[in-house]
Amino acid sequence: MSKLSSKKILYVSPDLYLTGSVAIVGSSANLLNAKQGRLIDTFDNVIRFNRAEVSDKYSDYAGTKTTLRVVNNHVFDNIDIIKQGYTNSPKKFVKKLRNTNILYVGPDEGPWSRRKKNTHKSNNLFKFNYSELEQLKQYIQIETEKNFQVGTIMTVLCVSSNIKPHLFGFDLTKQKRTHYYQNRPAEPNYEVHSPNIEMEAIKNLAENRKINIY
């Protein structure tokens, strides 16, 4: 496809273009409920988050293709979270990535300032301008002082950039948040995010045919 059919993602630098169809693969354990890996791999763009595992073990469910990995400040800074109760969370996950498009999404400028130390030179690095988060909140008509999860941010970035993404593996019911590739501790009090509010916003986007949910 030509660049004329590409869509520029708002609020990201350097310029990030997505050309063709877009699958956003969340990390929820509900991804294991259906073997959609082959379908996911048919999309031109396959976007994954943080340390989401791509391997033969999960290929039938999550696919094997990744064209963009979106990471938060903790993952980008290669912070060890195993002591917090997470399994399968290699500390230097980002540092070991090669030839990968990585989009940093975080309110902290520190990890980005250490990007040469945090990542390998073979990767292509992009940064979301976090000061524009309020624009995304206004776009989906949410009033909250809390930050968005990276999945919500990437979804709204696509929609606001005139892209209709296809979502897999998102938690869209009020339940304990899970990851298909690891155990994660319960979060009884969400100090940073408002997952239930974000969940309703995602469902509203689907009802308005701005996104497709599998």
How far is the C-alpha of 19 from the C-alpha of 27, rounded, in Å?
23
pLDDT digits (tens, 9 = 90+) for 71-91: 999 999 988 777 777 788 888
CATH of 3-213, one of 3.40.640.10, 3.30.1490.100, 3.90.1480.20, 3.30.70.20: 3.90.1480.20
pLDDT digits (tens, 9 = 90+) for 4-62: 479 999 999 999 999 999 999 999 999 999 999 999 999 999 999 999 999 999 999 99
